[in-house]
Amino acid sequence: MLQGSDVATTKGFFCANSARVRGDSMAGTASPGLVWVLIEHRGGWPPNGFDGLDLDAGTKAVVSTAARRANARVLLVRRPGPRPRHGPKRWAVLRYESSGAYQQLWGTWEREEDLAGIVTALASPGSSGLPPVILICAHGRHDPCCAVRGRPVGRALSMRWPELVWECSHVGGDRFAANAVVAPDGVYYGGLDAESSVATIEAHLGGRIHAEYLRGYTDLTPLQQAAVAAVLERFGPAGRHDYQVTETVRQGERWRIRITGRPPHPASIDVELEARPSPPCQLTCLAPTTGSVMVYEPTSIRSA
């Protein structure tokens, strides 16, 4: 048992430790999504997050149905560190627009029926120009590594950006803890610790996304995510919209991804990748069996 974490694992196995030993590639592992629903819940989170909360069944069904129709992901959130036990809690709908015009709508809730405001927000335009939200997965009851590695990162980031940072429920890729999602930018980072997270988020907020801890962009397919990561690694950091994927073509056992860049970045880049399954391994702390995932290996990067 991990003291103070509300999490448990077996035989001392931690998936994030094993992934680092194996050298698992993070590129191309961001979960797809363009819309996020955030619901502040200050108490313990069930393993299945919002679906497992002890809330009015009707309210929960209305929110879940609206989120599914909008292809939105529902995440529980709370501030890192000590939290007030009483008082209104917040909710938000964050939406990514490919044009870069991100939108956000925020509200508060005290009674469960107040959460119905999320349904209206999902069908309404939001406000643009607001700073992004920094989400750190710290969902220990879903996977121990998320709490063990995520909570220190959340505390470190909240000391720097207290108004932007939230702990959140499961976002995927437990073995890459600590995981961060910048929303509604739609950017996943993984393998972070307290020091690297501050540097990574500082660069992100300054319009410079680095490849080192990047898992991918949520508006792209895994192959496209891996191609963009390869371009950033080859040509250096760039802004969220400095590169655009313009073509994806399969060529036998390989794929070719064409990426166009804004000046001063290369105008046109072709990335060739191979997609192959990884050797079977235990992918999460609590996985009952081994599993395999797809790995995207760049074999060629050519710029025009």
Give residue limits of the domains in the chain: 15-220
pLDDT cut 90: percent of the chain above it: 83
Q: HEC states along 114-165?
A: HHHHHHHHHCCCCECCCCCEEEEECCCCCCHHHHHHHHHHHHHHHHHCCCCE
- Considering Cα of 270, then 209, then 36, then 50, what sign does the dihedral take? positive
Looking at this protein, which amino acid is placed at residue 158?
A: S
The contacts of residue 232 (CB under 8 Å, 6+ apart) are 209, 210, 211, 214, 238, 243
Cβ pair 40, 77 in contact under 8 A: yes
Tens digit of each residue's pLDDT (9 = 90 or more) over 135-148:
999 999 999 999 99
Burial class of residue 224 (count of CB atoms within 10 Å of its CB; 0-12, 13-18, 19+): buried
Cβ pair 188, 215 in contact under 8 A: yes
CA dist 47 and 45 (Å) reads 6
Tens digit of each residue's pLDDT (9 = 90 or more) over 72-112:
999 999 999 877 778 899 999 999 987 767 889 999 999 99
Length of the chain: 304
Binned at pLDDT 50, 70 and 90, residue 118 comes out as very high
The whole-number pLDDT of residue 56 equals 87
Average pLDDT of the segment spanning 112-125: 92
Range of lowest pLDDT (80-84, 218-222, 239-243, 296-300)? 80-84
How many contiguous H segments (helices) and E segments (strands) does the chain have? Answer: 6, 13
Q: Is the peptide bond between 152 and the residue preceding it cis, with omega within 30 degrees of 0?
A: no
CB atoms within 10 A of CB 150: 29
Q: What's the Cα-to-Cα distance from 51 to each of 67, 113, 180, 190, 232, rounded to whole Å?
A: 12, 16, 22, 25, 37
Average pLDDT of the segment spanning 268-285: 94
Binned at pLDDT 50, 70 and 90, residue 2 comes out as very low
CA dist 299 and 274 (Å) reads 7
Q: What's the predicted TM-score (pTM) here?
A: 0.92
The fourth-level CATH superfamily of domain 15-220 is Glutaredoxin (3.40.30.10)
**In the predicted structure, residue 230 carries a pLDDT above the cut 60:** yes
Q: Mark 13-31 as b/e (b = at least 16 C-beta within 10 Å).
A: ebbbbbbeeeebbbbbbbe
Mean pLDDT, the chain, rounded, equals: 92
CA 102 to chain centre: 16
Average pLDDT of the segment spanning 27-37: 95
Average pLDDT of the segment spanning 149-165: 97
The whole-number pLDDT of residue 4 equals 34
Burial class of residue 254 (count of CB atoms within 10 Å of its CB; 0-12, 13-18, 19+): middle
Tell me the Ramachandran region of residue 186: left when phi exceeds 0, alpha when psi lies from -120 to 50, beta otherwise: left
The whole-number pLDDT of residue 98 equals 73
Tens digit of each residue's pLDDT (9 = 90 or more) over 171-217:
999 999 999 999 999 999 999 999 999 999 999 999 999 999 999 99
